[in-house]
Each structure stands twice: as C-alpha cells, then as structure tokens.
Amino acid sequence: MIIEDLPPCILINSYTSPWLRCYTDSEIDYKSPRFLSFGDLDCDYQPPTHIQETNALTWSAGPNPTSGVISVQTNETVVEMRLFNLTGQCLLSTTLSQEKRIDMSTFPSGLYWLQALDKQRRSLGVIKVILTP
C-alpha cells in the first residue's frame, strides 16, 4: 500500500495511536512508565474538562494529503495555527499571515494534527493532516 492509496477513513478515525496505561492479571499489576509520568492516576482517569466536540469546524485546510505546504481556508476568527505530532507534541505554532499557508516540508512524512485557535487562544478544532514524501 502506498500513501496515495490511503482512504479517507484514515482522516476520521481514532484521535491518535493507543498506548498502554495499565495491565493487570492474577500475577501482575502494572502501570506503564508513560502513564506514570503524568502522576499516580487511576487507570480509568479522564480529565475533568473532557468535552466531546460536536460543532462543525469553521475552517479547513488543504490539500490533504499534502507534500509540504497546506493552505488554510478560514474566516478572521482564526489567528493562530498549531501543528502537533500524534503524541501531542507541538511542532509548530504560527500566527496566520495573509497568505494563510503553513509549510510542513521540514517535517518527516506521516500523520499530524493541525489546530486552529482564535484570538482568545480557544481551540476551534483540529484536523488530521497527512504529509507525504
């Protein structure tokens, strides 16, 4: 399978890769180092502000997949864009210029999250972006 063959379902599937919080059986009680790095939380922890986003996005970006530069179509409410890898690490934070283009060409190919923020730095939603070689 090559990247161009990837179906659109990859864009709407689960938020990100799953990773282990805890494992238990009759002999083992285990929390992963990654989960412990957030503190001594219960395995079924959920953030208190957990909100399911239901509103339609007021912006879009394309082409997607892209080979490097992606253009953002939006109204003036979007003032900042942030790019994340699938682990949630922020790779890029930029104020939208008049061109409203984001250059991803310096990053390795793969899947990314693109987030828009308004001037109060509130999230206006995220989309998954495929960066091709």
Partner 1 sequence: MKKILLPACLLLCCCSIFSQQEWAPIGARWVQNIGIDFDSIPVPNPLLDYYVVECTGDSMVNGLNFRKVGDYLMHQNGGKIYYWYGDSLNLVYDFEVEVGDTVNLNLLSCLGVVVTVPVKVDSVGAIVVSGQTLKRIVTTSIGPAPYWFYPDGIPTLKKLGDLTA
Q: Which region among 1-9, 54-62, 71-79, 99-107 touches partner 1 (by CB under 8 A)?
A: 1-9
* Long-range CB pairs of 42-48, under 8 A, 24+ apart, other chains included: none
| 18: amino acid identity, one letter | P
Q: Which x/- pattern, by CB under 8 A, does the window 71-110 give for partner 1?
A: -------------x-xxx-x------------------xx
Distance, in Å, from the CA atom of 118 to the CA atom of 54, rounded to the nearest integer, reads 17
Structural contact between residues 98 and 31, judged by C-beta atoms closer than 8 angstroms? no
- Which structure tokens are listed for 59? 């912006």
Q: Can the peptide bond before residue 63 be classed as cis, meaning omega within 30 degrees of 0?
A: yes
- Name the 3-class secondary structure at 4: helix
Q: Is residue 33 at the binding interface for partner 1, with CB under 8 A as the rule?
A: yes
Q: Is residue 17 at the binding interface for partner 1, with CB under 8 A as the rule?
A: yes
Q: Is residue 32 at the binding interface for partner 1, with CB under 8 A as the rule?
A: yes
Q: Is residue 119 at the binding interface for partner 1, with CB under 8 A as the rule?
A: no
Distance, in Å, from the CA atom of 26 to the CA atom of 21, rounded to the nearest integer, reads 17
Residues 25, 40, 76, 99: which binds partner 1 (CB under 8 A)?
25
Q: Is residue 56 at the binding interface for partner 1, with CB under 8 A as the rule?
A: no
* Residues forming the site for partner 1 (CB under 8 A): 1-3, 6-7, 9-10, 13-30, 32-35, 38, 41, 43-47, 49-51, 53, 84, 86-88, 90, 109-111, 113, 115, 117, 121-123, 125-126
